[in-house]
């Protein structure tokens, strides 16, 4: 039996220990250090969930780079558009730059597609994507994910930046919702 915790009103079980997460991040860092040497990439971290992945990845990046943060804000469209996502907080000149988007988790792919499309409007040289977790069975988009820390099942996870009802982002391990 794994370690059980309660977050808000639901029970979760330990699923991915911190050391496995850190090992996966080392793998991503190694590849990025090689792929972007001399390119001075700009990491664009998508808040809130990506704050831990960003900090841990940056501690393992040893090439010259910049780091910046954006947020995806949702609001209801005025017409029949329903929910609209807008990327806020982007204020650097990205023309000709190599961008690496940092995400905590890619689920349906809606968020990452929106952020990538928004960044491409700034005429960068290239836009790559790094995500700590990926739910391949939930993914509905075509856009390629360049660096994936770990594939996870289509279940609800909490910890390591991921929240349930605002709680659990501080946990260093990943916990899975009990069915």
Q: Would residue 155 show up in a list of annotated catalytic residues for this protein?
A: no
Nearer to ligand IMP, 49 or 124 (CB): 49
By CB under 5 A, tell whether 159 contacts Mg ion: no
Q: Is 105 in the site for ligand IMP (CB under 6 A)?
A: yes
Say whether residue 162 binds ligand IMP (CB under 6 A). yes
Helices (H) and strands (E) counted in the chain, each on its own, are 3, 10
Instruction: Say whether residue 131 binds ligand IMP (CB under 6 A).
Output: no
Q: How far is the CB of 120 from Mg ion (least distance, A)?
A: 19
What SS3 state is found at 8?
coil
Task: Write down the catalytic residue from 35, 56, 104, 107.
Answer: 107
Nearer to Mg ion, 20 or 169 (CB): 169
Q: Which of 120, 128, 130, 60 is nearest to 90 (CA)?
A: 120
Q: What distances in angstroms separate CA 76 from CA 73, 109, 113, one per listed residue?
A: 10, 19, 19
User: Annotated active-site positions, please?
Assistant: 107
């Amino acid at each position: 039996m794994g370690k059980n915790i309660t977050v808000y009103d639901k029970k979760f079980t330990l699923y991915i220990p911190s050391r496995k997460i850190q090992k996966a991040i080392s793998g991503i860092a190694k590849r990025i250090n090689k792929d972007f040497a001399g390119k001075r990439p700009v990491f664009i971290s998508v808040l809130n969930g990506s704050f831990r992945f960003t900090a841990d990845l940056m501690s393992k990046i040893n090439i010259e780079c910049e780091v910046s943060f954006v947020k995806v804000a949702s609001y209801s469209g005025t017409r029949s558009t329903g929910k609209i996502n807008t990327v806020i907080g982007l204020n650097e000149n990205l023309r000709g730059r190599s961008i690496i988007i940092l995400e905590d988790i890619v689920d349906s792919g809606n968020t990452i597609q929106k952020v990538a499309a928004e960044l491409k409007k700034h005429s960068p040289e290239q836009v790559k994507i790094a995500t700590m977790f990926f739910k391949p069975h939930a993914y509905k988009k075509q856009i390629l994910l360049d660096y994936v820390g770990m594939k996870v099942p289509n279940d609800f996870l909490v910890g390591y930046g991921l929240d349930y009802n605002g709680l659990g982002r501080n946990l260093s391990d990943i916990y899975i919702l009990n069915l």
